[in-house]
Amino acid sequence: MTKRGLKIATIGGGSSYTPELIEGFIKRLASLPVKDIYLVDIDAGSEKLQIVAALAQRMAAKSGSDLQIHATTDRREALKDADFVTTQFRVGLLDARIRDERIPLRYQKIGQETTGAGGFAKALRSIPVILDICHDMEELCPDAWLINFANPSGILTEAVLNHTSIKAIGLCNCPINMINDMAEKFDCPVDDVFCDFVGINHLIWAQKVLVRGRDVTAEAIDKICSDSAKEIMANIPEIHYDPVFLKSLGMVPVSYMKYYYMQPEMLAECIAAAEGDGCRGEVIKKVEKELFDLYRNPELDTKPAQLASRGGARYSDAACSLIDSIYNNKKDIQTVNVLNRGANADLPYHAVIERNCVIDANGAHPLHIGHTPLKIRGLLQTVKAYEQLTIEAAVTGNYDAALQALTIHPLVNSATVARSILDDIVAENKEYLPQFNR
């Protein structure tokens, strides 16, 4: 990788998350010499792209650096000779997310953006798009790293790593949020906390929590039980684990695990929300409107605090730290989505796992896990099978694979309901799922 100023291409640059990403690069300019950031979006997102790009330019100017912000709808222009490509796109925009959340509710199943039937629908739309982006990268910037935080991040990253030649690493803000939450609970610096994560994207557990090298896992679980009114993920409903269950688990689960461990309660919450203020996608539409009203202010030249309510807090730290560590060959440990390659003895070799990895100039190298505890192994293997069938369905348009994927997902778990949901998804996403409409 050259030591000239770096070129970053951000696909989905008109996202409300972008100011946090720009902030992350500005904070690291001393060690990460970014020169050009190309913010890319589709024609339908061009208005938001211009608003976000103008704010990003003001942020860059305030920093006193020579960082250049470019806004374009020409993806190929942005990708040519890029050093890093970040992806944060949403195929179908928020209207598609709202459908993803409401279709399952028709059948008394949880509707959620990244897991279950909702995440399945998003994956079907998104996988062909990210593969198309990667085919452009193979031609225009074959040595670039793809840093993906478009959801469902693990599934999209696995599709890229198994169907293209692009070097890719997937990101999620859940691990970094869990670490920050532990630092708050133990009143210590974030750097003093180490969580031994095992699992896959949005299905991870901290097997061990260490503070300054001391195992505090049991204390962490006690603190969660006693301080359960505090949530670390803005987009997860505030329903709390039964302390007896959590202590029997003996690990700290990511907030998304509530959809699995507390399915009836979470379904009831989703139904109540949809009948009240609206599903999460509808709430986010209102939040986005307020954010873009702020972004339009020509006096605004920093990331507004209100962005935290969007649910994507600390993505910039995760993304920019990862890029910084690759560029500077840091050999530090971060939690990312990467090919298993035998690290987890209970999952396929070419599956993507979310794991503590050593980050260097050659990418992410997962720490060895061996076999996972029996109490989480079955759920982990089932959801991974769902993910791999979903990738097959998205790539080939195979209806049978899609039906089997949805049927075995623990949040659906019914062949008849899976078929009804699948048919609705295909019908209501027809323009985004050409592979099923040949």
The residues carrying an active-site annotation are: 256
373 close to 346: Cβ distance less than 8 angstroms: no
Cβ of 338: how many Cβ atoms within 10 Å? Answer: 24
| CA-to-CA dists, residue 364 to 25, 134, 210, 222, 353, angstroms | 20, 19, 22, 33, 11
- String of DSSP letters for 41-100: --GGGHHHHHHHHHHHHHHHHHHTS--EEEEES-HHHHHTT-SEEEE---TTHHHHHHHH
Largest CA distance in the chain: 60
Residue 26's nearest CA partner among 56, 46, 71 is: 56
Exposure letters 358-393 (e unless 16+ CB within 10 A, then b): bbeeebbebeebeebeeebeebbbebbbbbbbbbbb
> Is the preceding omega at residue 152 within 30 degrees of 0, hence cis?
yes
Positive or negative torsion for Cα 428, 430, 432, 436:
positive
**Residues 6+ away with beta carbon under 8 Å from 282:** 98
- Cα separation, 129 vs 146, in Å, equals 14
For the chain, how big is the Rg over CA atoms in Å? 21
